[in-house]
Structure 1
Amino acid sequence: MLFCYYEKVNYLFVLYVLCNYYPAACQEEEDGPYHGKYLGKFNSYHHQVSGDVYAVDERTLLLKTNVLERYFNKDFTLVLPDKKKITDIKWFAIYDIWSQNTFGDIYIPEGFEPPTVQNIALLTGKTNAISTSAVEILDAKRIRLNQFVYDGKPKKAYFWVGVGAQPVVKGTKVPDDLDPLRAYKNITITLDLPGDITIFNIDWFSIFDHESKRSLASIIIPEALNVPPSLVKIIPHKNELPNCLQLHRDFQVSWEIFGPQITIQLAGQIAENEYLSFGISGSDERSQMIGADVAVAYIDGYRGFATDYNITALTPCVKVLGQYKGVCKDELVGGQDSNQMNTAVRENGINIITYRRTLISHENMEPAFHDLYSKTDVTIQTSPKEPQNNCFAFTKSKAILGEPWKKGQIFDKTIRVFNTYIGPSGGKKGYQAITGHSSTALAWYVNGLLAPELWLRRGLSYQFRVRGGNDPHSAEYYHPLIITDEPHGGIDRRLDDDFESYKKFNRSLVVTCQPGDPGILELTPNSSWPDIIYYNSFTQANMGWKIHVVDSFNQRVYSRANKSVAPFLLMLSLLIYQALFIV
């Protein structure tokens, strides 16, 4: 027999292998959420043990029971030890080893098949080169398309699910950032069904083109699939305003117009130190950041903010030749804050911020690089004949992060010259993973490496050849190189997170330069310099990284923690020409 300890020493959940078989009725639950395949109820012998048992997958049981005082009317899961499967055991018991009494047990039916990943028909299409090597239903809310191929030519195609005999316009987008599908080439993707939708209440899955109103490819979802329950937590959210638009699976906006004013509510599943942004495009024809009038909404402690910003350049707000440019508060650029804050609350990890403003504008947490954004034009009919609401419940699952790129390091006692350029920051796998800092769209490259750590030896002279821009009128591309003991310093979008490694990312870049010579920064570290300094941009924060200053290259990491170091600052603003990595 196998013992699985789960409570006090005198109580054991016992798994018996190769024991007698006793049939148990197998039934599916009719109401409530899906918990897995139903095994049956506990047979009760002592202490009024009762409850239901479900098979979550081939190795996991879910108990909905009053077992022991600590777990009275609680749900909890047990994973079988030693890689045992449910099909390897005959029965499961709650057993007291001191009195050698069984309080309750349940028998595993012969031929029982626990929930597992199910393969269904392939997703293929006669147009747009649509194909898959396999389609898997991972659990009640997840679909995986293996080696998915799609040419991305239709402009308004989405992953689409619904009910009925075949795909139709009436359905629901499956979150792929809720943007039209891009091109895919042998990419394996996992899709989460939105809100409270599960695999059991849809009939089909499709790639649906809303411009031509036809399905490009579809598959029928078989009934009563024996799959594991979903571990995704559904977080209900009720919209208080009549109109609601789902901008992203983690971001929705609702609104109501009364007279010349509009009340807007932003709801987003974000971290406590993140913000939501929403506003009017800078163009009447398309979604455009330049010229946009936006609200940046966040909660600081118990206080909410919905600050009015004007966007004049794709960069954080900087002062260029006496004028503020970039994403700046309206008050800094001669305008006024048009937003009137109403309410702000954080519930279940969701920031809900409501504010009011006039329909026509009369025109601190500073926004920087944003992780989520609309990649296509988004239009809103503010005064529909009937209220519109396509929002669904928020869901929360364990984040699966891709492997960050390998961190660059330059540790070479023979190097005296460093070539520095400006290029894309590489998204979450790049600068943010390397430094742990939030980033703008750009970062420093040194000798071809993205924000590497450098090692310099005291007493040796070094030269930095700086190519960071020579136009002080440019808020985006003017970056004097500075070297200080302060780690931070002072938008061309790419799918950087899709690159598996820095090597593949680097090979996608092309160097483009304006004519001229680089600016030269020469320095000789001495004994007064701190052990750690940083190279960065003078105009924008978080573009560079760390420099180690050592006494000898024989010891890579050297500590001078006990040495008092005077305040240190070295800065050079001499730049001759601009070089950018671009696609």
Structure 2
Amino acid sequence: MAARSDPPVLQAHNNTDIILRLPMGKRIKDIRWLSVWCRRFTVDFGEVFIPPGLDVPKPRVLPEFRRLAHGLRSSNISVLDAKTFYIPNLHYDGAGPDAYFWVGNGSEPNIMGIKVPNEVGSLDPLRGYQGEDIEIQLPGSLTVYDIDWLAVWCVEYRHNFGHVFIPKDLDVPPALGQTKITTTTTPRPVYSNCREILPNKLQVKWELQGEYVQIELFGRISEDQYMAFGLSGANGRPQMAQSDVVVAFYDSNARVFRAEDYFISDLSQCDGQRGVCPDERLGARNNVIVVSGDRKGGVTSIRYKRLLQTNEAIYDMPIPIDREVSIIAAVGPLNARKEANAHSHTASDHNPDDIRINFSKRNDHSCKNSLYDIKDESGPKPWPTLKIKGEQRFRASIGATGGKRGYTAITGIPSWGIAWYINDLLIPEITVERGLTYEYHPFYITDSPEGGLGQKTGLEARKQKAYAGVEYDEDGNAIPTGVGRYCEWEHRTVDRSAEFDNFEQFKSTLVFKCEDGEPGYLNWTVPMDAPNTLYYQCFTHNNLGWRINVVDAGASTAPTTLQLGQNQLFFYTLLTVFSLVVTSSRLTNSLLA
């Protein structure tokens, strides 16, 4: 008779990946062979011999991320297995507009890389991190043996925020699901059934799998919302009360996807006995198994399984497969407990009409479009445009862009992650007068709304005209003429622009820092034939500045001093002289880092 501590008898396996852990503290070097053995008949079904001195694959520790931009840093990164990286103490300000974990080949990170999902499997642009420990996993069949580096890379602006190289002599364990992230190369299932329950908000796909039904919900919801789907409390109409639903959401605190079994006795907050309650708070079980989750493009998708018959008569309804059944669906806010918040539903956030589904049916597919193709009209409201006119003195510096409320909302152009501040204001429109002289630093003045003359060549460079801050060498190459120290309004932690209704509140989350050095100076007299609209821009990178309104002499209400600079510019007016002093000049490749 087998002892209680013995493992279970082996079942049949067909091309299965399994992990064996040696018992009683044994190590690989302590054994000479491994076999599949029948104890009853003392028969060896097969074995493998382990050579003495075997160098067992093990995790490999790499250096930390190289620190190049946006506050990216970490502790030493580990390769846990052939697909999984462990990144401890990760810091990143989250201000890059299109940044991802990025892998590829070559001597340094480049545009020919591949996006790597974040720690929750999402391919959304990276959020900010403040000293967090995370694991990420290479997509598909890609392994660490196929790549030369791991980086944080801005796809839109082709910029490397930091990277670590992958040595060629790695000998790490195969990826068999032994890490926190479940290893899988299984593609997303192709469902024959799909219904759009809430127009442009919620789709449900399903298929029977033996005694289970597998369901995948796709919801255009925010991170503080849930999506719910289940059986109506009354057949023939959509009734929330007495319904049996699954509430699925992304838990932003734990950073995991969840699907919870709920029973709704009535539309009130759960008190542990009645209301919109998880089954577990009612003393029952959560009979839902989360299979996977993803969040990208404003869409949360969560796949889960549930038994057709759970044998919980009070809080779970059996899912019939011999007929249609009325369903209920909704989206709504999560409360502080990360539970569905009871609230009054509108016609757009629940199904007001009776919708019936036969869960055993196939090819019940009426979804016309993917939710990923729908433009997201939600999101934070933009801050008001800031303007400067009639000022006698201006100061220019570099700073954070303000996310979707700031630079992008003001200009209609995706931000690079850093922008000009004039008089401590984020890219204000400024007004200057023709004929006045300005003294400023290595930003330059141009007719281009994009800027970045230093990275333009040939016809592309000739498309824009520089009015100040640029000289040309004998070969016609543009050279910035101002040099000075670099100063920047930096995030104290991560980008929090979405939390604030105005720029001044957001600015309180920034800190102003300057490198050692002296300001540089450059003079510009506004030509009388200057166009009505010019732009202050960065010589090295695109899309940092904004609009200058050029007016005739005397049109301004007061003499103006513009201080524009890589970092700090001071303008002062003397008679008809407009002086701009710019203090900052790290406008090289690291300027916008």
State the TM-score, normalizing by the size of structure 1: 0.35
Greater RCO between the two (CA within 8 Å, min separation 6)? 2
State the TM-score, normalizing by the size of structure 2: 0.34
